[in-house]
């Protein structure tokens, strides 16, 4: 649900991160959370990154998701320029399969936290859910959709377990 009044900003270090981040978009849409996507690099477009993040809160953004690979400074740089919660997604785009991005994103020095998700597409999905959980503190319809999502996941897991255990 890309809309004119996004509550979540999804930043990616490169357009090449889009496939890994598709699950994040899908979940934000199914949870009906308005968001906008931006390609902004801490290294290649530092001025634009700073400008966007510094103006995000004023235009209604409440949570920032920042996904990047390699020496992934995007989430940390975003967190440096705002007190909005920043959720980091390490992307597995490098020869180190995301271990570099994981450490660069998670190992923020004390004072400027980044809530770091798992590496890759699983982390991308969790970033959307975590953003929804933050917004759910303020918006009860989002809280209801998060609860419904989780209940459905539980039902689906039990259904699959039952199928497996009964040899289907």
Residues 39 and 37: their CA atoms lie apart, in Å, by: 7
- Contact segment (CB under 6 A) with ligand RP5 among 64-72, 79-87, 133-141, 155-163 equals 64-72
Over the window 18 to 57, marking each residue x when it contacts ligand RP5 by CB under 6 A and - when it does not, the resulting string is -----------------------x----------------
DSSP assignment of 100-162 equals HHHHHHH-PPTTS--EE--STHHHHHHHHHHHHHHHHTT-HHHHHHHHHHHHHHHHHHHHHHH
70 binds ligand RP5 (CB under 6 A): yes
Distances in Å between the alpha carbon of 2 and those of 45, 65, 159?
Answer: 23, 14, 33
68 binds ligand RP5 (CB under 6 A): yes
93 binds ligand RP5 (CB under 6 A): yes
Specify whether the CB–CB gap between 12 and 39 falls below 8 A: yes
In the list 1, 14, 80, 82, the residue contacting ligand RP5 (rule: CB under 6 A) is 14
66 binds ligand RP5 (CB under 6 A): no
13 binds ligand RP5 (CB under 6 A): yes
The binding site for ligand RP5 (CB under 6 A) comprises 13-14, 16-17, 41, 68-70, 91, 93
């Amino acid at each position: 649900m890309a809309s004119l009044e996004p509550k979540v900003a999804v930043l990616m270090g490169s357009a090449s991160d889009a496939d890994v981040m598709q699950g994040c978009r899908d979940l934000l849409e199914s949870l009906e959370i308005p968001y906008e996507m931006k390609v902004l690099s801490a290294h290649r477009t530092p001025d634009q990154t700073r400008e966007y993040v510094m103006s995000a809160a004023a235009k209604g953004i409440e949570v920032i998701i920042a996904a990047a690979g390699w020496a992934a400074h995007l989430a940390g740089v975003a967190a440096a320029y705002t007190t909005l919660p920043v959720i980091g997604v390490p992307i597995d785009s490098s020869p180190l399969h995301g271990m570099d991005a994981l450490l660069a994103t998670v190992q923020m020095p004390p004072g400027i936290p980044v809530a770091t998700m798992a590496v890759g597409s699983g982390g991308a999905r969790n970033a959307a859910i975590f953003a929804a959980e933050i917004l759910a503190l303020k918006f009860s319809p989002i809280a209801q959709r998060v609860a419904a999502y989780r209940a459905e996941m539980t039902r689906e897991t039990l259904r699959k377990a039952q199928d497996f255990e009964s040899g289907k």
